[in-house]
Amino acid sequence: MDALREAEAKLTVYVHPSNAADVRRAVARQLSSLLFSYEDRFDGVLLAHEATVESEQGKILNGLVPYFGVPVHANLLLYSPKPDMMLEGKVEMLGKESIHAIVLGVFSAAIMLDDIHEKFKFKRKKYGGKFVSRSDKQHVIKKGSMIRFSVKRVDAEMNCHVTGSLIPPHTGSMLWLSVHDDEYALEINSGKRSRDNKIKTEQHEQDHSVKSSGRKHKSKSRKRSFEER
Amino acid sequence: MGAELRRDDMEVAEEDISDSQAFRFVEHVLQSVRMDPFQVDLRDKEEYDSLLSIVDSSKKRSYDDEALLVTTLKALSEAVSKIDIMYHHALLNNIFTMSIWYLNSDTRDALLSLITRLAAVADQFLRECLQMLVNNFTPPGSLTAFIGQPRWLARKKEIYSQLHESLRMISDTVPLAPRMLKDIIDRSMPKLFDNKAKMVSFVECMLGLDNDRMGDLIGALLLAKVVDLLTELDVNITWEDILQDEHNKGIFDMELEDLGEDEDSLGQEGTKALFGGNACAEKLDGLMVVFCEHLKSCKEHGRLPQEFDILKTIFRASVLRVHKSKFAQFIMFYACSLDPEICGLEFALFLSDIFIKKEEDSISRMSAVSYVGSYLSRARFISADTVVGILKRLVDWCVDYCDLQNNIGITTKPINHQIFYASCQAVMYILCFRLRSIMDYPNLKAQLFNMPFGYILTHPLEPLKVCLPSIVDEFLRQAKAARLFNASVHSEFEDALESDLSKTFGGMNRLDMFFPFDPYLLKESDRYMRPNFEYWSMVKTTYNNYNSDVDDELVDLDAPEMNVGSLDDHVEIDLNSDDDLEYSMNKMSITPNRSFFHQIMANSDTGLTMPARIRPSVSPPS
């Protein structure tokens, strides 16, 4: 999926002296504390990390508590949806005015009435309801169906809550698309999603420092390269 | 939607209005004020205001109003995409400040479904929605007085289950919501000075969440929060509160008459007298009931082992080292008693592991060994072979320690060997309670008699001189009767109450006085502990077999003591009078024979002969 991204990062993780006995674990725990929350520096939500400690020597901070900085090289898996990306999700709840889907089993996305294509008509059923396309009765979106939609807006503050849209082409129920939408069908049949156009970007960032829950976490002149698929 | 509306009374429009018309109307109103307030048409503004007055949190409603509210709420949940945080601020505010406790069942449904929809629509409402649901964990202030009535109990259950359902639905549509809920619950936790009803209902609802699928996500945190609250309440009950009252009782010798009169009023009177209306104790009592019920339901649903694992971790982190805690640790006791084979055993091993591990800090280790001692002595559900097994571990450790000391040369300052003395004391304490019952099993007896007690007790470190005299004395008495070891060991305390060594040790180190599972004094929750709790009065001693005269003598000596604190043992169990008085004295004391001494010393000036466990609590270490 477009919104998933791998990144490499050079980080300096500040470890409390009480954890000096097992630095690797302390680093992993520190990184794990960032899981599933939006992180500005990564420009996304951290889903997984794999870190190797680069040097045996850490720099000790001045201060009351001598935290020491451990240079770490980390591979990160990030979720960072951007407008106009295509996402896939499972419909969890729907009503006349909105469809709520879950992306990757964790992230929520909502599609409001204004963003649902006019061709869909809501049919009320006893339990919930469903959207049925006026042009093709086969095209149905109901609770549990997988849908493909484009990202309209991302709320970074709230763990990348996505407001989506079903208006652009190649959106709708994935089951229906796989048969009736040529481009999508081609894409899934070729078994890859335009993996050729890898773009490598390098990005240099300024020093950041963040204190989180009494511990320090800092990334210095981080060099990041990531692939955009 | 299947709501039956009282159409003729609808205020929104004229007669014969259908659901969908009402819905469209509300949608229109919402849409029409979605602009700069100055541009809003006056008529639209009026309609919006009337909408606001329908959804008013403070209003008292007639049946008609309530029906109107249901329709409006349903209409709103159909139109959530039109609701805007900017322009409908007043409306949202009204919705989020509503209390579901006064509403009818239908209305509650409608409101909660609106909340779940709002939470899912745009994340900007999520926090408010969760906050609103959490706020409703507790009934509004004016209701708390009635909440105990049976009429409300059923309703309370219903409301809780609706709240849980809504929270679950929110977590379905917004999978990361529990993270936020965690923060919100954390911040809304009842504080120490909140009233009891509020505390109890909040915790009840909170623990209810743990039963749910939500429990997998944030259950551990919820439990930790509750245990923290219990401990906090616990340490705020001072022993002075309890003792003062007990002493007064003793002085005035009143409770015998009281008992006769109040027999049917159960423990309530007793509690009051016991704690002098100590608010913390009452709150703790209520919460303990809720917690025990929760554990019981876990047991019924087969989730006790998982729950117990979490509890163990929490216990380790926030109860083990709190020496002032007197009752909170009984949640572990109760959990163990629910499943003696797995949890009960596991707890004993868990504690002895902490004790034996060198990496643990000494406070934890000493605490742990005190816990082991107290637990194995008091837990009736623990089998004799488990006791022997753990004893073996402790004794082995002591032997190793003695050997090590022999090798490196002994410094006899007790303070350097705290852990050793604490474990010796635990071993003796356990044997005081258990020796007789172990003797019934020939194989266990053989195992026990193979342990080198003589070596440890006669070691130059002289544990007998340092440990608590009353325990040493009782232990020696029993050991002698049972011929546990051959070495000629005799008590050093025959003429002195506490040796100097023991005093320094006790003075420097409170742990030798720490007996976590002493008799449980909270009235309401006592029923959970009592059946599994071993009272000293019921312990069979080894010397009882051979020498009943002494025992009688003892009872006689105890007799005048009986009034001290015999407050609450009268109701549920029909103890015969001897048991009663021994039991009553036990409530205060950890030490089997204390009153024997106490009796002798009572007339002299020894204020020092207070029951051991009281002292450390009164003067906590700084």
Around A220, how many Cα atoms within 13 Å sit in the side-chain half-sphere? 9
Cβ of B176 within 8 Å of Cβ of A108? The answer is yes
Percent of chain B surpassing pLDDT 70: 72
| Contact: B79, A110; criterion CB under 8 Å | no
Q: What would the mean pLDDT of B585-599 be, rounded to a whole number?
A: 38
Exposure of B582 by Cβ count < 10 A (0-12 exposed, 13-18 middle, 19+ buried)?
buried
pLDDT band at B490 (very low <50, low <70, confident <90, very high): low
What is the arithmetic mean of pLDDT over A8-31?
89
Cβ–Cβ of B81/A36 closer than 8 Å? no
Which chain B residues contact residue A95 at CB under 8 A? Answer: 77-78, 117
Q: Is B251 exposed, middle or buried (0-12, 13-18, 19+ CB in 10 A)?
A: exposed
Task: State the average pLDDT over residues B352-378.
Answer: 88
Q: How confident is the model at residue A146 (pLDDT cuts 50, 70, 90)?
A: very high
* DSSP 8-state secondary structure symbol assigned to residue B100: G
Q: Which of B174, B358, B360 to mutate to test the interface with A (most CBs of A within 10 A)?
A: B174
In eight-state DSSP terms, residue B274 is H
| Tokens coding B498 | 């506490």
pLDDT of residue B475: 87
Average confidence (pLDDT) over B317-326: 85
Q: Smallest CA–CA separation between B3 and chain A, in Å? A: 13
Q: What is the pLDDT of residues B32-46, one digit of tens each?
A: 887 777 777 888 888
Per the CB < 8 A criterion, the answer to whether A226 and A5 are in contact is yes
From the list B122, B124, B173, the residue facing A93 with the nearest CB is B173
B80 touches chain A (CB under 8 A): yes
- What pLDDT, on a 0 to 100 scale, did the predictor assign at position B239? 67
For residue A10, give the 3-state DSSP assignment: strand
Summarised one tens digit per residue, pLDDT across range B219-271 is 888 899 999 999 988 888 876 666 554 444 333 333 333 333 333 333 333 34
Question: Percent of chain B at pLDDT above 90?
Answer: 14
Q: Which of B285-294, B306-315, B350-359, B559-568 bottoms out in mean pLDDT, i.e. has the lowest?
A: B559-568
Q: Where are the alpha helices (DSSP H) in chain A?
A: 23-32, 174-180, 182-189
B131-152 burial, b for 16+ CB within 10 Å, e for fewer?
bbbbbbbbbeeebbeebeeeee
Reading the block at residue B170, the tokens are 């929110």
Residues from chain B contacting residue A108 (CB–CB below 8 Å): 120, 123, 173-176
Most confident of the following: A127-141, A192-206, B204-218, B327-341? B327-341
Inspect the interface and report whether the beta carbons of A108 and B175 lie closer than 8 Å. yes
The secondary structure of B421-469 as a DSSP string is HHHHHHHHHHHHHHHHHHTTSHHHHHHHHHS-HHHHHTSTT-HHHHS-H
Residues of A in contact with B124 (CB under 8 A): 155, 158
Contact A113/B at CB under 8 A: yes
pLDDT reading at A228 higher than 90: no
pLDDT: which is higher, B124 or A145: A145
Note whether A68 and A106 are same-domain residues.
no
Taking 50 as the threshold, does the pLDDT of residue B548 lie above it?
Answer: no
pLDDT value at A214 more than 50: no
Q: Which residues contact B251 (CB under 8 A, 6 or more apart)?
A: none
User: Are the beta carbons of B70 and B107 closer than 8 angstroms?
Assistant: yes
pLDDT band at B568 (very low <50, low <70, confident <90, very high): very low
Rounded Cα gap, residues A7 and B487, in angstroms: 72
| Chain A residue with Cα closest to B121 | A110
Q: Which residue has the higher pLDDT, B519 or B621?
A: B519
Contacts of A89 in chain B (CB under 8 A): none
In this structure, of A68-82, B210-224, B275-289, B563-577, the range with the lowest mean pLDDT score is B563-577
Judge: B80–A98 Cβ closer than 8 Å, yes or no: yes
DSSP string, A92-110: EEEETTEEEEEETTTEEEE
ipTM of predicted complex: 0.73
Residue A8 pLDDT > 50 = yes
Task: Return the structure tokens found at B403.
Answer: 């050997």
Q: Which of A93, A96, A159 sits opposite B120 (nearest CB)?
A: A93
Distance CA A226, CA A199 (A): 8
When CB atoms are compared, the residue of B81, B169, B176 closest to A98 is B81
Q: Report the pLDDT value the prediction gives residue B100, as an integer from 0 to 100.
A: 87
Predicted local distance difference test score (pLDDT) of residue B255: 31
Mean pLDDT of B148-176: 86
Mean local confidence (pLDDT), A41-56: 87
Give chain B positions within 8 Å (CB) of A157. Answer: 123
Retrieve residue B288's tokens: 């303990």
A28 lies in which domain range?
Answer: 4-80+197-228
CB B19 within 8 A of CB B3: yes
Predicted confidence at residue B350, as pLDDT, reads: 93
Is A98's CB within 8 Å of B176's CB? Answer: no
Of the pLDDT bands very low, low, confident and very high (cuts 50, 70, 90), residue B347 is very high
Residue A93: its chain B contacts at CB < 8 A?
Answer: 120, 169, 172-173
Q: Does A102 touch chain B (CB under 8 A)?
A: yes
B57: left (phi over 0), alpha (psi -120 to 50) or beta: alpha
Provide the CA A86 distance to its chain's centre, in angstroms.
Answer: 12
What is the model's pLDDT at position B266? 35
Given CB atoms, is A37 within the 8 Å cutoff of chain B?
A: yes
pLDDT for B163:
92
Distance from CA of A58 to the nearest CA of B (A): 25
- Chain A nearest-CA distance from B130, in A, is 14
Least confident stretch, B69-83, B305-319, B381-395: B69-83
Alpha-carbon gap: B78 to the closest alpha carbon of chain A (Å)? 7
- Contact between B80 and A97 using a beta-carbon 8 Å cutoff: yes
Q: Where are the alpha helices (DSSP H) in B498-560?
A: 500-508, 526-529, 542-546, 548-558
What residues pair up with A155 in beta bridges, in sequence order? A161
Amino acid at B46: E
Would the pLDDT of B13 be above 50? no
pLDDT at residue B554, as a whole number? 40
Cβ distance B288 to B230 under 8 Å?
yes
Helices (H), A124-204: 174-180, 182-189
Q: Is A221 left (phi over 0), alpha (psi -120 to 50) or beta?
A: left
Residues near B404 by beta carbon (within 8 Å), at least 6 away in sequence: none
Say how far apart CA B236 and CA B617 lie, in whole Å.
Answer: 11
Q: Where along chain B do its domains lie?
A: 1-97
Higher pLDDT, B16 or B59: B59
Nearest residue of B to residue A155, measured between CA atoms:
B123
On whether any CB of chain A is under 8 Å from the CB of B174, the answer is yes
Tell whether A9 and A71 lie within a shared domain.
yes
- Tokens 């509306």 map to which residue? B5
Please state the rounded mean pLDDT for residues B374-384.
90
* DSSP per residue, B601-615: HHTTT-GGGS-TTHH
Cβ of residue A184 closer than 8 Å to a chain B Cβ:
no
What is the structure's pLDDT at A195? 44
Which stretch of DSSP H or E encloses residue B584?
A: helix B577-588
Are A120 and A165 a contacting pair, CB within 8 Å? no
- pLDDT over 60 at B559, yes or no: no
CB distance A82 to A162 below 8 Å: no
Predicted pLDDT at B390 = 92
Amino acid at A97: E
A46: pLDDT strictly greater than 70: yes
- Count of helix runs (H) and strand runs (E) in chain A: 3, 18
In this structure, the number of other CB atoms found within 10 A of the CB of residue A41 comes to 17
Round the average pLDDT of chain B to a whole number and report it.
74
A112 in B contact zone (CB under 8 Å): yes
Number of cross-chain residue pairs from A and B with Cβ atoms under 8 Å apart: 60
The confidence score (pLDDT) of residue B247 equals: 41
Smallest CA–CA distance from B122 into chain A, residue: A110
Which phi and psi (to 5°) does residue B428 adopt?
-65, -40
* pLDDT tens sequence across A162-171: 889 999 888 8
Q: Quick one: pLDDT at residue B313?
A: 92
Four-residue CA torsion sign, B351, B352, B356, B357: negative
Can you spell out the DSSP letters for B151-177?
A: HHHHHHHHHHHHHHHHHHHHHHHSTTH
Angle, vertex CA B569, rays to CA B564 and CA B572, nearest 5: 170
B621's tokens: 């270490």
Residues 6+ apart with CB under 8 A from B460: B405, B410, B412
Whether residue A155 and residue B124 make contact (CB cut-off 8 A), yes or no, is yes
Residues A143 and A210 in one domain: no
Give the one of A93, A113, A155 whose C-beta lies nearest to B123's C-beta.
Answer: A155
Q: What is the average per-residue pLDDT within B406-424?
A: 78
Cβ distance B78 to A105 less than 8 Å, yes or no, reads no
Distances in Å between the alpha carbon of A140 and those of A110, A146, A185, B337? 17, 10, 18, 55
Q: Which residue has the higher pLDDT, A199 or B357?
A: B357
- pLDDT higher at B182 or B562: B182
- Supply the angle between the helices B89-96 and B126-135 in degrees, to the nearest 10: 30
- CB proximity B467 to A under 8 Å: no
Q: pLDDT grade, residue B30 (50/70/90)?
A: confident
Q: Tell me what percent of chain A is helix, strand and coil, each rounded to the nearest 5.
A: 15, 50, 35
Residue of B nearest to A127 (CA): B1
pLDDT at position A39 = 85
Of the candidates A98, A107, A114, the beta carbon closest to that of B121 is on: A98
**Within the 114-133 window of chain A, which residues sit less than 8 Å (CB to CB) from chain B?**
114
Number of domains in chain A: 2
Rounded distance, CA B428 to CA B372, Å? Answer: 12
Residues of chain A contacting B123 with CB distance shorter than 8 Å = 108, 155, 157-159, 161
The DSSP call for residue A129 is E
Query: B561 pLDDT exceeds 60?
Result: no
Higher pLDDT, B138 or B537: B138
What is chain B's Cα-based Rg? 31
What is residue B241's predicted lDDT score, i.e. its pLDDT? 62
For B328-357, give the DSSP string: TTHHHHHHHHHSIIIIIHHHHHHHHHHHH-
Q: Quick one: pLDDT at residue B290?
A: 92
Positive/negative CA dihedral, B329, B332, B335, B341: negative
SS3 state of residue A153: strand
A96, A110, A157: residue with CB nearest B78: A96
Considering only CB atoms, B122 lies closest to which of A97, A107, A110, namely A110
Domain check: are A107 and A73 in the same one?
Answer: no
- pLDDT for residue B412: 65
- B618 Cβ under 8 Å from any chain A Cβ: no
